[in-house]
Structures are given as C-alpha cells and as structure tokens.
Amino acid sequence: MTVNIPSGQKELLLICTINWSPENARERMASLISSHGYTPLSKNLHAVACVNDIIAQGVTLALLDAGYVPGPDFPIVTGLDCTLESVRNIVAGTQSMTIYWDTSILARQAVIMANAIIKGEDVSVNDTSTYDNLSKLIPSFLCIPVVVDIANYKEILIDSVYYTMDEIYSNS
C-alpha cells in the first residue's frame, strides 16, 4: 500500500494544529478539502490521521461541512485518548478508531513507582530503550495501547465501566 499525501505537508511545523483546538483543526481541514477539491462525489478523501481525538473532532466537523455523510465512503479518521465525544463519533460512523490507555493501570503503576522512590528502592520499569532525551535513555513504564473501534468499544469501554451506554448514547 502506498500512502499519498496530496498536500505535501509532512513537516511538523506544517501539520501541527495550534493549541490542539478543534476549531483550528476544523478550519485547517476545511482549507485542505477546498484547496485539493475533495468531495464525497468526485475526488474522495480516503483517510485523515489525527494526533488525538480533539483534532479528530474538528476534522470530522469539516468533513460533515463538506458534505461527507457517515457510511462506507466517509474517510477513515483516527484519534487517540478515547474521549467520550470521539467514542460517540465512532458509534455515529464519523470516526474510525481511537486509542485507549487504561488509566487504572497507569495510576497503579504511578503509585508503585512513587512508593519505590520514597523508600529508596529500584523503580520498576518495562522499557529502557525507547526514550532518549539526547543526554541519556530514560527508563519508563509503558502501558499497552488498545485500538477502540465500532467492533470492540462495548467490550473495552462499557464492560470495564470506563463509559456507560447512557453516556455514549446521550445527546449531551
């Protein structure tokens, strides 16, 4: 598979969304849609990879503004952080997936690490090679990310009581 980026925008300073604002993401996406002539009926946009759910929400609004409708021709939109609004968008068919980090695991590990530091003990980590701040490698504890999509959101989010069905299906 070849990924084509028609805008040519690949450098970090070009692709960033100021303040991680959904409004700024919406405006930027609307500009890209307009400048490249994307429409749901002719020059279809296939995917938009977003750095997080907040950006994905702005992108989704721009796609809806441009006439895209939920369904098989709606562009794949990715996200990260498993925000409630993005889970609602997954259910509505306007976001394809998000990444869930189990915060209970992170919180438990943070307590274990803090207690070890307080006691002067070795801190338990599971990664000693990924994070290099150009001065040294930073030992870390990495949580396993989980992809959440329409096929598994109930199992991952409802069964774990991260969200309730009422929260996901309410209009607020």
pLDDT value for 10: 82
Domains of the chain, with CATH numbers?
Answer: 12-101+145-169 (3.40.50.2300), 103-140 (no CATH)
| Region 150-163 average pLDDT | 96
The neighbouring-strand residues paired with 77 are 48
Provide the whole-model pTM: 0.85
- 161-171: per-residue pLDDT in tens? 999 999 999 87
Residue 79, CA atoms < 13 Å, CB-side half-sphere: 31
pLDDT band at 172 (very low <50, low <70, confident <90, very high): low
pLDDT band at 148 (very low <50, low <70, confident <90, very high): very high
- 6-28: per-residue pLDDT in tens? 788 888 878 888 888 999 999 99
